[in-house]
Amino acid sequence: MPIRTIFHVDMDAFFVSVEELFDPSLKGKPVVVGGRANERGVVSAASYAARKYGVHSAMPLRRAYQLCPKAVFLPGHPSRYRDYSGKVHEVLKKFSPRVEMASIDEAYLEMTGTERLLGPPLAAGQLLHDAIAAETKLPCSIGIGTSRLVAKICSAMSKPHGMLCVTPGAEAAFLAPLDIRKIPGVGKVTEKGFRERGIHKIGQLSELGEAYLEKTWGKLGLALAGKAQGLDAGAWFQGEIGAVEYPKSISHETTFSQDTADVKRLESTLAKLSQMVGRRLRGHGLYGRTIQIKLRYSDFSTFTRAHSLDEATQLDTVILETVQKLFRRNWKQPRPIRLLGVHVAGLEESPGQLDLIEEDRKRRWGQALRAVDTLRDRFGEGSVGLASAIGHGRQERVHENPAGLPGHGGDKDE
């Protein structure tokens, strides 16, 4: 397998940069996008001038105001951001046929094999940097590596408006002195867990070894062992860049500007959220089977309650009916509510129950297995194997699945 070259392109303070395009007077000023200073909400993006005051994304707006009262607070323009995200995407597609927008403001490019056309990675990166600046007037940073993980860490470290490349083979040595928090997937909680055990640097993770990490941290530990070597380990970064995927869930939620126990208000909110979810399901041509509500009370305690339907749906009415039942059963009236949410998962491309042929196959497969079990009970474990396993020698575990028969399905990643 060839050594891959992957670019990670990350727009700098994206929402703020777009706002500056429409109002150049904002340039250089502390700007906070996310809402008004006295609203319930958090910072979506902060300009570098605002960051100097300690303002950063995900910070409550009221806190940002305390830190920097003279900042310009903007609610933002989501449609503009989508628009400019699209423009960036267009530029990226000129550099590689395999582009994956990882979010509205970042993307991965599979650049393996583009050398003859675009030159070595750093030269291609420079061209891309220039092209994005020329065609969108927006600043970005570019990370280059042999995995998504390394490319992403590089783009973060080269901000703002920079570029960083780790050459093949240098990954582990490059990562070793970095703080564990730089690893995507290591957040506050994981960070604390490791710090309490004296683990601060990625190199220390490597020294712990894969076996130990997996034993004590499970899948997370196993993934970290790989990531410390610069590999796209774990479920998160798997798969080809640019592979098309369906959403796995669709949801909408809203936080009231003031907590409320008004039944009319709550129920009409649930109706609206259900409609929004239904509309998006239909937009994707998907049907959902598991309907979930989310309640958050004044003290921020949060509950989810779910119900799975027999048949997947994309109808507002069915969603709302389920949502209402869940709500009436679970709201501790009259506790005021801060947030309501409607969530649909178990998404399928068709509404139907399993079709009848599939159902029948499943039944007969079950019967066949039971017959095998009976024979084994009577004559011993080695007496019966499935046709496809016979002649292959040992067969203490037979997991072959003759074509067409419904199997366990579980051919997930990893």
Partner DNA sequence: TCTGGGGTCCTAGGACCC
Q: Which residues are catalytic?
A: 106
Determine the Cα–Cα distance for residues 244 and 100; give it in Å rounded to an integer.
9
Q: Which is nearer to DNA, 249 or 388 (CB)?
A: 249
Q: At residue 158, what is the residue type?
A: S
- Which of 93/182 has CB closer to DNA? 182
| Sheet (strand 337-348) strand order | 249-260, 337-348, 287-297, 302-313
Choose, by CB under 7 A, the member of 211, 235, 354, 375 that binds DNA.
Answer: 235
If one counts every other C-beta atom within 10 angstroms of the C-beta of residue 352, the result is 11
Q: Which is nearer to DNA, 60 or 203 (CB)?
A: 60
* CB of residue 361 to DNA, shortest distance in Å: 15
Binding mask 188-227 for DNA (x = CB under 7 A): xxxx--------------------------xxx-------
Residues 166-185 that bind DNA (CB under 7 A): 183-185
Report if residue 40 touches DNA, rule: CB under 7 A. Answer: yes
Sole binder of DNA in the list 69, 169, 209, 366 (CB under 7 A): 366
Q: Which of residues 95-154 bind DNA (CB under 7 A)?
A: 102-106, 152
Q: Which of 44, 114, 269, 313 binds DNA (CB under 7 A)?
A: 44
What does the longest C-alpha to C-alpha distance in the chain come to? Answer: 85
CA 145, CA 133: separation in Å to the nearest integer? 22
**In the complex, what is the shortest distance from the CB of residue 181 to DNA, in angstroms, rounded to a whole number?**
8
Selected from 236, 272, 400, 405, the binder of DNA by CB under 7 A is 236
Task: Tell me how many residues contact DNA (CB under 7 A).
Answer: 66
- Minimum Å distance from CB 413 to DNA? 7
User: How far, in Å, CA of 243 to CA of 193, rounded?
Assistant: 34
Q: Does 373 bind DNA (CB under 7 A)?
A: yes
Q: Give the separation between CA 196 and CA 182, rounded to whole angstroms.
A: 17
The least CB distance from residue 408 to DNA, in Å, is 3
CB 168 within 8 A of CB 47: no
Measured CA to CA, the distance from residue 181 to residue 325 in angstroms comes to 42
Of 247, 285, 352, 402, which one interacts with DNA (CB under 7 A)? 247
Q: How far is the CB of 352 from DNA (least distance, A)?
A: 14
Measured from the CB atom, the residue of 30 and 35 that comes closer to DNA is: 35
3-state secondary structure string across 298-336: CCCCEEEEEEEEEEEECCHHHHHHHHHHHHHHHCCCCCC
Burial class (CB in 10 A: 0-12, 13-18, 19+), 45: buried
> Is residue 384 near DNA by the rule CB under 7 A?
no
In angstroms, the CA 84 to CA 19 distance is 11
Separation CA 152–CA 238 (nearest Å): 14
- Closest CB to DNA among residues 44, 96: 44
Q: What DSSP character marks residue 2?
A: P
User: Least distance (Å) from DNA to the CB of residue 251?
Assistant: 4
With contacts defined by CB under 7 A, name the span among 92-100, 123-131, 199-207, 294-302 that binds DNA. 294-302
Residues 6+ apart with CB under 8 A from 18: 77, 80, 81, 84, 138
Closest CA to 205 of 188, 179, 228: 228
Q: Which residues bind DNA (CB under 7 A)?
A: 40-42, 44, 57-58, 60-63, 66, 102-106, 152, 183-191, 218-220, 234-236, 247-255, 276, 280, 289-290, 292, 299-300, 302-308, 339, 341, 346, 366, 369-370, 373, 408-410, 414
